Amino acid sequence: MEWLERSVPVFLLIFCRITSFFVVAPIYSARGVPAQFKIGISFMVAVLVFLTFGIGQTVTQDAAYILLIVQEVLVGLLLGFTAFLMMAVVQTAGALIDIQIGFSMANVIDPFTGVSTPLIGNFKYMLALLVFLSMNGHHYLLDAIMYSYDWMPITGNVFTKFQDGSVTDFLVSTFAHSFVLALQMAAPLVAALFLTDVGLGFLARTAPQFNVFVIGIILKVIVGLALLLLLMPGLTALFDHLFAEMFEALQKLLSVIGSKPVGWSKE
């Protein structure tokens, strides 16, 4: 009974971090994933983490325990949001392309997030998920949440990082970097469609008898889809770079809210 009294509070703290991570993390947070599966995998991972990192740890069961619960939920949400923010780069790039190509008027419902998303953005997001699963990215996300206890144990204090502004600085810089990545991913198509608009403008000035509005819609769709088809082979390399940025951002977040474990190496 004494062992249970010491272990159950520790297990509940671990379960809070892992559950909050799966609520936000890409793939695991999809609406198509049943809630029973999310709860089940959270419980199984929490058991593994408890057997690896939680045995022998004790926490005080007083008012400070509530702060520990809030801290664990914050850590899990931060990790999941950082991973989701990098995946949202694909949809942001697709939205920028759709604005130029004219598809932004016909958004579709994304079954993974349940919100309205642009056509090209949703298409690229599906491709990114397939590449992410093919490279076992979902396993790396499990590694990230498991080994986060090496960097930030349940007895740590993440509130001091919020107080000195380091977490806020990280979130702002990561959001700005993700937007830059979205601009870089969409730049070839956006630039080509912008030049198409410039050419249509010259056509409207030199040959006013042409209905540039009607011609422009068809021409931009043809140019956009043709360039997308030509750039498809290079999307895998772009997604690999994006996922590398994701895991680097997760590592940076752990270094911000915690401390590097002894004997840790980047490999």
Average pLDDT rounded to a whole number, residues 46-69: 79
The residue that leads in pLDDT, 54 or 264, is 54
Coil vs helix vs strand at 108:
strand
pTM of the entire structure?
Answer: 0.80
The predicted-structure confidence for 156-169, as pLDDT tens digits, reads as follows 777 777 777 788 88
The predicted-structure confidence for 63-76, as pLDDT tens digits, reads as follows 778 888 888 888 88
Share of the chain above pLDDT 70, in %: 90
CA atoms within 13 A on the CB side of 190: 14
Can you tell me which residue has the tokens 């093919």?
134
How far apart CA 95 and CA 200 sit, in angstroms, is 22
Lowest mean pLDDT among 29-38, 66-75, 138-147, 187-196: 29-38
Cβ atoms of 118 and 88 closer than 8 Å = no
The predicted-structure confidence for 65-118, as pLDDT tens digits, reads as follows 888 888 888 888 888 888 888 888 888 888 888 877 776 665 555 555 556 666
The residue that leads in pLDDT, 16 or 209, is 16
pLDDT at 252: 87
How far apart CA 158 and CA 167 sit, in angstroms, is 9
Q: How confident is the model at residue 59 (pLDDT cuts 50, 70, 90)?
A: confident
Q: What's the per-residue H, E or C state across 182-221?
A: HHHHHHHHHHHHHHHHHHHHHHHHHCCCCCHHHHHHHHHH
CA atoms within 13 A on the CB side of 154: 29
How far apart CA 41 and CA 213 sit, in angstroms, is 53
pLDDT for 155 beyond 80: no
Contacts of 176 (CB under 8 A, 6+ apart): none
The predicted-structure confidence for 214-254, as pLDDT tens digits, reads as follows 777 788 888 888 888 888 888 888 888 888 888 888 888 88
- Around Cβ 82, how many Cβ atoms within 10 Å? 25
**Which among 49, 41, 56 has a CA at the least distance from the CA of 13?**
49
How far apart CA 130 and CA 135 sit, in angstroms, is 9
Angle between helices 63-101 and 119-134 (to 10 degrees): 120
Average pLDDT rounded to a whole number, residues 182-204: 85
Contacts 24+ apart (CB under 8 A), 46-49: 46/11, 46/14, 46/15, 46/18, 46/19, 47/11, 48/146, 49/14, 49/18, 49/146, 49/149
* pLDDT, mean over the chain: 80
Cβ atoms of 81 and 24 closer than 8 Å = yes
Average pLDDT rounded to a whole number, residues 184-208: 83
pLDDT at 267: 47
How far apart CA 95 and CA 93 sit, in angstroms, is 5
pLDDT at 116: 63
The residue that leads in pLDDT, 34 or 15, is 15
pLDDT at 117: 66
How far apart CA 154 and CA 130 sit, in angstroms, is 34
pLDDT for 266 beyond 70: no
